[in-house]
Amino acid sequence: MMMAGLRERKKEETRRRIADVALELFAERGYDAVTVGEIAEAAGVAKVTLFTYFPSKDCLVLDGIHDDTAAIVTGRRPGQTPLDALREHYTAMAARGPADVGRMLAQVRIIAAAPALMAGVYQANMGQRYELAAALTDTAGSATAAQLMAAQITAAVTTVQEAFFQRLASGAPLEEAGRLLADDVDLAFDQLRDGLGRSGS
């Protein structure tokens, strides 16, 4: 049991080292100018090892930037509504704050500067939206209603997150940005609740 825990910890350390090295190189030279081979060499791992942790180059930047909103909905407590479960999740995130602000901002800057990554974010958002719609179908009443709810929820969450990133990027203190993020989460979910009606409240 102890050995298994040690192996998992070492795997996580390797994964984090590869991702950190990749972000540093991308930030210095640009996403398109850095090869996977260069990242593997700088991280001290074989190329095949890198692909074990990150199946594609874009995963080195995009990995971990999305929440599994469908899982939040399907894993909610008995009697809890989908919107209440999502509000609870994002309220807790706002209170906790990012584990590493510098790393998060580096990800945002790298993504914003690379059209391929922006397209990847768009595709991931679309996939996340469809998964959320599937999770909402039982409570929404119809597939179309679920898709509309998922679109509104995804747009609201994305807008709130973008406002948070912009505040940090413009130099706002983390504490202030976090407080405003909490306010934005409340505003977003109040509007979603009032706008979505009984099927989403």
pLDDT tens figures, 13-25:
999 999 999 999 9
Residue 197 pLDDT > 70: no
Q: How confident is the model over 67-100, as pLDDT tens digits? A: 899 999 999 999 999 999 999 999 999 998 887 8
Look up residue 143 and give its DSSP letter: H
Name which of 80-84, 103-107, 158-162 the model is least confident about: 103-107
Q: Which long-range contacts (CB under 8 A, 24 or more apart) does 67-76 make?
A: 67/93, 67/157, 68/128, 68/131, 69/128, 69/131, 69/132, 69/135, 69/153, 69/154, 69/157, 70/128, 70/131, 70/132, 70/134, 70/135, 71/135, 73/132, 73/135, 73/136, 74/135
Reported as a pLDDT band with limits 50, 70 and 90, residue 198 is very low
- In sequence order, the 6+-apart residues with CB closer than 8 A to the CB of 42 are 21, 25
Residue 195 pLDDT > 50: yes
Region 95-115 average pLDDT: 86
Report which residue type is found at 83: L
Residue 108 pLDDT > 60: yes
Per-residue model confidence (pLDDT) at position 120: 85
Q: How far apart are the first and last CA of the chain?
A: 44
Per-residue model confidence (pLDDT) at position 102: 84
Contact 85, 76 (CB under 8 A): yes
Per-residue model confidence (pLDDT) at position 97: 83
Residue 63 pLDDT > 80: no
Name which of 5-9, 17-21, 127-131 the model is least confident about: 5-9
Q: Which long-range contacts (CB under 8 A, 24 or more apart) does 55-64 make?
A: 58/116, 58/117, 58/120, 60/18, 60/19, 60/22, 60/23, 60/26, 61/22, 61/23, 61/26, 61/31, 61/107, 61/110, 61/111, 61/114, 61/117, 62/111, 62/117, 62/120, 62/121, 62/124, 63/19
Percent of the chain with pLDDT over 70: 95
Contact 135, 75 (CB under 8 A): no
Tokens describing residue 173: 């203190």
Tokens describing residue 117: 């990554």
Report which residue type is found at 171: G
